Amino acid sequence: MRQQPELLVYHPRQAQEFAAAVRDRGYDGRIYVCSTPAEAREVIDRAEVILGVRFPPDLLPQAVRLRWFQSLWAGVESLVGGPWPTGVTLTRAGGAFGDRISEYVFGHLLWYGVGLPRAREAQRERRWQHYWTGTLRGRTLGVAGVGAIGEEVGRRAKAFKLHVWGLGRRARDLDGDAARAPAGGAAEVWERCFTPAQMPAFLGGLDYLVITLPLTPETNGMFGRQELAMLKPTAWLVNVGRGKVIDQAALEDALAEGRLGGAVLDVFAEEPLPPSSRLWTLPNAIVTPHLAGPSMPDEVVEFFFENLQRYLAGEPLDGVVEFDRGY
């Protein structure tokens, strides 16, 4: 295994923190720590590897030694457009966020699915009143996006004895109905896997829809009025992917008119969510400020180091982005 390459760590606010996490893991190569385009411009021609986010794309043509760019985020829509030098591999850190995002999803699903808000309301009123609680067991949860994050959501769902369906990009079963697990995924996670062409069958059978999709030309607006109408009026939607995957106006209407049970939303078409949005005040909408999958230095650097060992050994990297597909 060869020596560790010269590394550029780029983050507008936390470059020092990520660089410190890299050093703490025992990295003994040269590290350039940059927080501004001017700082990066001075050293961009020396770096073989970049660990960063919100990197200025106009500097990429000057990255003459660059071979690998590891994004600190799972989303890479701001990076795929390049311009990338020939031979550069871009990887996304989706595998670093599965645990946190899954806990976010099931924290909400358990709270509302079991019916605990009623107990909290009764406590505020000092009212002792028994009621039948709900359960997740036996219900059907669909995950739109069967990558690393979606797969981890599916694993947690199985632990709660839910039926777990997946929505993937390609057909993977000969009969075109129920499908096998996605290539590279865990076969025990998905009971059924659908493609976008099978959207009515997928959405119509769900009690919970969890969206973990990246934003690409194909996923932009994927869940519009027609698709939302396919869901049961009691179904809950959770979006931890990208806000523009859903037609937000159509979602607001569905929630306001009682055509959906509720929605847990961590991402939005416009962020921060404008104060004028109806989502702030709809009783069946839960709004959080894009916090489900924070980019924590220790956790992302752990993912980076696992990939670094593959890189140094000449093995395939985890999370490789296909530029023509956008993720």
Q: CA separation (Å) from 253 to 31, 220, 248, 288?
A: 50, 19, 9, 19
Distance CA 155, CA 164 (A): 9
Domain covering 98-287, topology? Rossmann fold (3.40.50)
Instruction: Give the residue ranges of the chain where pLDDT is below 50.
Output: 172-185
Asked whether the beta carbons of 162 and 138 are under 8 A apart, the reply is yes
For residue 179, the model assigns a pLDDT of 41
**Of 3.90.1150.10, 3.30.9.40, 3.40.50.720, 3.40.718.10, which CATH number belongs to 7-96+295-313?**
3.40.50.720
Is 242 in the active site? yes
Q: What are phi and psi of 10, to 5 degrees?
A: -125, 125
Structure tokens at 130: 């028994």
Is 271 in the active site? yes
Asked whether the beta carbons of 290 and 266 are under 8 A apart, the reply is yes
Q: Which of 100, 108, 192, 242 is catalytic?
A: 242
Asked whether the beta carbons of 207 and 230 are under 8 A apart, the reply is no
For residue 197, the model assigns a pLDDT of 96
For residue 176, the model assigns a pLDDT of 36
pTM above 0.95, yes or no: no
Q: CA separation (Å) from 295 to 18, 73, 101, 136?
A: 10, 7, 11, 29
The predicted-structure confidence for 36-49, as pLDDT tens digits, reads as follows: 999 999 999 999 99
Provide the edge-to-edge strand list for the sheet that holds 68-71: 31-34, 7-10, 49-52, 68-71, 89-91
Are 7-96+295-313 and 98-287 the same fold in CATH? yes
For residue 187, the model assigns a pLDDT of 62
For residue 326, the model assigns a pLDDT of 83
Is 322 in the active site? no
The domain limits of the chain are: 7-96+295-313, 98-287
Q: Which of 30, 169, 278, 290 is catalytic?
A: 290
Provide the edge-to-edge strand list for the sheet that holds 262-265: 192-194, 163-167, 140-144, 208-211, 236-239, 262-265, 285-287
Q: Which of 42, 121, 270, 271 is catalytic?
A: 271
